[in-house]
């Protein structure tokens, strides 16, 4: 189908899980079934602030409510993706959201020794260190 061909062409324009050095990203059959490419229109503004992050977070929260999994990706080969999508030059690629059926178990861990790098254990569980609210809220 057109969507599966387009998804196949989008996949290699994205960098996956930089902290997992031996993992090139999801294998065939486990790859996202859809992508949302968030664009900025440079004829309106050259500066996009954080609006794309707010939009992406809202989309991902909605996706989880529908039973989907997703990932916000900022490490993008933008020129290649622009060519794949045949985007006019007025558009800047800001973020990509990858969506699909979740297959991983993800666990949120407390940050230890200020190390925020995510990792996978021997059972393939994906561990994501996060700082506590006490660590990030200034009294």
Please state the separation of Cα 2 from the chain's center in Å. Answer: 22
Residue-wise pLDDT for 89-102, tens only, equals 999 999 999 999 99
Q: What beta strand segments (E) does 6-132 contain?
A: 34-41, 69-73, 91-100, 106-110, 119-120, 126-130
Q: What is the pLDDT of residue 24?
A: 83
Q: What's this model's pTM, rounded to 2 decimal places?
A: 0.89
The share of the chain scoring above pLDDT 70, in percent, equals 99
Q: What is the pLDDT of residue 1?
A: 62
Residue-wise pLDDT for 45-78, tens only, equals 999 999 999 999 999 999 999 999 999 999 999 9
Q: What is the pLDDT of residue 3?
A: 79
Residue-wise pLDDT for 14-50, tens only, equals 999 889 988 888 999 999 999 999 999 999 999 999 9
Q: Under a CB-based contact definition with an 8 Å cutoff, are residues 37 and 96 in contact? A: yes
Per 3-state DSSP, what percentage of the chain is helix, strand, and coil (rounded to 5)? 30, 30, 45
């Amino acid at each position: 189908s057109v969507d599966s061909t387009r998804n196949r062409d989008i996949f290699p324009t994205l960098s996956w899980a930089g902290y997992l050095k031996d993992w090139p990203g999801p294998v065939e059959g486990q790859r996202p079934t859809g992508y949302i490419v968030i664009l900025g229109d440079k004829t309106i503004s050259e500066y996009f602030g954080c609006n794309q992050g707010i939009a992406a977070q809202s989309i991902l929260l909605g996706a989880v409510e529908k039973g989907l999994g997703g990932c916000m990706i900022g490490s993008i080969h933008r020129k290649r993706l622009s060519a794949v999508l045949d985007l006019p030059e007025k558009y800047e690629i800001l973020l990509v959201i990858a969506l699909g059926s979740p297959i991983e178990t993800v666990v949120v861990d407390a940050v230890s020794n200020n190390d925020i790098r995510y990792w996978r254990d021997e059972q393939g569980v994906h561990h994501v260190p996060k700082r506590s609210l006490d660590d990030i809220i200034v009294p």
